[in-house]
Structure 1
Amino acid sequence: MASVTPRGDKFLAQVRIKRGGAAIFSESKVFETRSQARSWAERLEAKVKAEGPARHASSKTTVGALVRMHLKAQQKARPLLGRSTIHNHEKIAQEFDQILVRDLKPKHLIDYAIRRKTEDGVSPATIKSDLSPISAAFGVARIAYDIDVDQEGLTAKSKEIVRWVDQEEEDALLAEFARRNAHHQTAIDMTLIYKFALAFPRRLGELGRLEWKDIDEKRRTITVRKVKHPKKKEYNDQEVPLLEPAWELLKIIPKVCWRTSTCVPRI
């Protein structure tokens, strides 16, 4: 609830919201007059109740402040927290002190990463370490600090991009494969592998496990071993049809070993 109390010759306005007997929101401000204090407190109380305490907190808390808040909680739980960890939190907090939690977008993180790489020449691993305090703080912000964060915009799945290789690009690829194939130590015909991967699109690991013995010539199918599955981690084999382009390519791929791809014969 909102309250106004005298504080010397001024007035202290305070808004406290409780849930289950515990305070879930508290904010105060000093004003010159009682009417100013009352007006501010009533408007803030209405706004917090409409938005929810967590969402309102995100509109006032900067990313830097959230990182420091999480660091303080870690230090309380682990008094012997390393100096490098403390330094890393403070460094990234300073970088994002001017950005509100609700305004943080992937572009802010990308811009930081590019700046660190181009200006400081640091490795991707270092950049990941730099940003880890933000990730950790955002991960627990809603539960631990009652601050609403929009993780969807930061951690959502990548947007699907559909793009065809143009003829100029494919010609360049095939020319490079031909150059490599001409080398005397080359054992794998990358031109055939490239064409077969287009005709039989599978994961790289699945293509590499294909074997001649798994082909059913009568049914024109092949058994793909250990197909990736969210639940079945092993022995998830599938019989897959070989369409005309893939079937025709298999006719010309040299059977120099047990794999369907050309390779050095197994001894």
Structure 2
Amino acid sequence: MATIRARKLASGVVTYTAQIRIKRDGVQVYQESQTFARKQAAQAWVRKREAELDQPGAIERANRVGATVKEMIERYVLEMEKARALGKTKLATLKAISESYLGEVNDEDLNCQILVEYAVWRMGPEGGGVLPQTAGNDLAHLGAVLSIARPAWGYQVDPHAMGDARKVLRKLGYNMRSRERDRRPTLDELDKLLTHFQGILAYRPSSINMLKMTAFALFSTRRQEEITRIKWADLDEEGNRVLVRDMKNPGQKLGNDVWCHLPPEAMAIIQTMPKAVEEIFPYNAESISASWTRACKFLGIEDLHFHDLRHDGVSRLFEMDWDIPRVASVSGHRDWNSMRRYTHLRGRGDVYAGWQWLDVVLKAPVNLGARTLK
């Protein structure tokens, strides 16, 4: 049932408020009102709105309280971390999105235009002036949330909004794809880093053994999170291989357990670790990253990430004339295209043949300290 009431304002202007009330079995189930300057406009709105509300499910949709982007992100993080902790970069990005103006947008209102505006805002001075690739990463992480928000939790998310936004941004000339890193550590940089880590261990023996972590990451080509998850039970010494659990893969985040071959240098490093706890390298991945970042800053080494050791390790194997299947048996890559991103050749041969630091790493004592109490 609809009513239209005229109201005279203090200025003498007359407005018309149209109100729609819908009852079912004597109980009011919906109410909505709008104010117009003309009675004819109010009448037209009533006719149009009553026709819309007469459609199946319209009342339920109209009464629905929408969820904000921030609420969707919070639920995503909560549900995902029940299975496995999200990476710190993804967590930080999602938190930043939820705390921005985009976090207050309702699921029903989130569309292509809003996503494009957000990406452009991020690239502008008010949004941080980030590179297009960074804005693209923002959309990618948010896209992971939206991809399950509708089918898993029933949020009213436009399934085409993210894809359309990316198409629009490409048409506008923004290159949102991440830049492929080709950074590899030099022998001089590694010499400085390992000397620095050696000094830290000399006065704090129970700190993270970054000597072994650095060398193992390089020779095994393993990611830091993978290294800290490896247990003694996952090691096959006779087969010179290790089971890498939940290996990172775009299409399979969990349960992607892969047996990876260990080059002799990596196996030798493992054999110097004490069997005091379940994990071979019982360290915190974030602490490893922080230690590496502090060292690079202190030594003036620019733009070198711990993950670049994986690039170096994969490239080294190709420089030693290993073929693609053999390299993949170490790195765990499933296809050449993804492996290619890690391959940046400098020449031929093993640059680490006779490397003085390998012997130092193997002989370095390990003091796990309080970690043995777990």
TM normalised by structure 1 equals 0.44
TM normalised by structure 2 equals 0.32
Q: Which has the larger radius of gyration?
A: 1
